[in-house]
């Protein structure tokens, strides 16, 4: 399958085609299929006080009351330190990657030794608040502190679903907040496709609440 360079219209990849793909090729392919992904830096601190920073593209909204977010961690990869620190301290931060820090953010995906502080290696700046033991990324325009709620082991592929509750939200830019919607595009939040492609966004529209038989209106 390595030689495929253009997919033709109406082409079907069967599961058998996918299973036969070379490993790296398959990882790129499957990672592209869910659509655009959030780009967040996870800040943690070890019991020994060493700060850790790691980019994660799997943070997702789980609920608003209480405010909960989930993320998928692969314990045998570069995110191992992250999950160990979360288990040890119970806290972590989620920091939006913005378009100005994508290179530094991507660099945090390198397999640094457990005793290396990725903030030092990437020139991103640590900052703290009174309420959270984990470090924030100063350059991130939107950041939040979380308290670990639970870690669910997913037997199906030995990944961990980390669920945390928001303890505070910190913004580092003047941002509109009209009906609660926070303009993350104005905050220059980036998104990711596949494993390594970074994108900025351009709003097409915001839409009214949809109802059967009623036309949708622009609310932007």
> How far is CA 148 from each of CA 38, 85, 136, 216, rounded to the nearest angstrom?
20, 11, 16, 38
- Output phi, psi for 82, to 5 deg: -55, -50
Nearer CB in complex with its own copies: 112/119: 112
Which span sits near its own copies by CB under 8 A: 23-31, 44-52, 85-93? 23-31
Q: What is the CA radius of gyration of the chain?
A: 19
Least separation in angstroms between CB 40 and its own copies: 6
In the structure encoding, which two tokens stand for residue 175, read together?
Answer: 């941002």
Interface with its own copies, residue 152, by CB under 8 A: yes
Whole-number Å distance between alpha carbons of 89 and 51: 12
Nearer Cβ to its own copies (28/89): 28
Single residue of 20, 47, 103, 123 touching its own copies by CB under 8 A: 103
Which position among 48, 76, 115, 211 is part of the footprint of its own copies (CB under 8 A)?
Answer: 211
Interacting residue with its own copies among 48, 76, 115, 156 (CB under 8 A): 156
Q: How far apart are CA 207 and CA 205, in angstroms?
A: 6
86 binds its own copies (CB under 8 A): no
49 binds its own copies (CB under 8 A): no
Report long-range pairs for 145-153 (Cβ below 8 Å, ≥24 apart).
Answer: 145/91, 145/92, 145/93, 145/170, 146/69, 146/91, 146/92, 146/93, 146/94, 147/90, 147/91, 148/86, 148/87, 148/90, 148/91, 148/92, 149/68, 151/83, 151/86, 151/87
Q: Of the candidates 50, 75, 84, 149, which one interacts with its own copies according to CB under 8 A?
A: 149
Our finding on whether 5 is near its own copies (CB under 8 A) is yes
Segment contacting its own copies by CB under 8 A, of 44-52, 84-92, 201-209: 201-209
Shortest approach of its own copies to residue 53 CB, angstroms? 12
Task: Pick from 24, 47, 88, 125 the residue near its own copies by CB under 8 A.
Answer: 24
Using CB under 8 A, count the residues that bind its own copies. 123
Q: Does 77 bind its own copies (CB under 8 A)?
A: no
Q: Is 62 in the site for its own copies (CB under 8 A)?
A: yes
User: 53: closest CA among 136, 146, 161?
Assistant: 136
Measured in whole angstroms, how far is the alpha carbon of residue 205 from the centre of its chain?
Answer: 23
């Amino acid at each position: 399958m390595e030689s495929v360079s253009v997919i033709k219209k109406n082409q079907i990849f069967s599961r058998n085609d996918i299973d036969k793909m070379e490993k790296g090729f398959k990882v790129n392919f499957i990672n592209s299929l869910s659509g655009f992904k959030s780009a967040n830096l996870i800040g943690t601190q070890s019991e020994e006080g060493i700060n850790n920073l790691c980019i994660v593209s799997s943070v997702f909204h789980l609920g608003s009351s209480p405010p909960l977010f989930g993320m998928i961690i692969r314990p045998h990869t570069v995110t191992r330190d992250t999950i160990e620190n979360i288990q040890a301290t119970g806290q972590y931060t989620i920091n939006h990657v913005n378009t100005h820090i994508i290179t530094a953010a991507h660099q945090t995906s390198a397999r640094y030794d457990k005793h290396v502080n990725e903030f030092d290696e990437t020139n991103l700046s640590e900052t703290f608040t009174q309420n959270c033991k984990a470090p924030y990324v100063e350059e991130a325009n939107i950041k939040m502190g979380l308290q670990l709620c639970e870690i669910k082991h997913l037997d199906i592929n030995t990944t961990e679903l980390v669920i945390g509750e928001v303890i505070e939200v910190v913004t580092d830019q003047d941002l509109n907040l009209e009906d609660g919607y926070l303009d993350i595009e104005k905050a220059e939040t980036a998104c990711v496709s596949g494993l390594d492609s970074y994108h900025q966004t351009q709003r097409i529209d915001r839409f009214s609440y949809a109802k059967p038989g009623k036309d949708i209106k622009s609310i932007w």
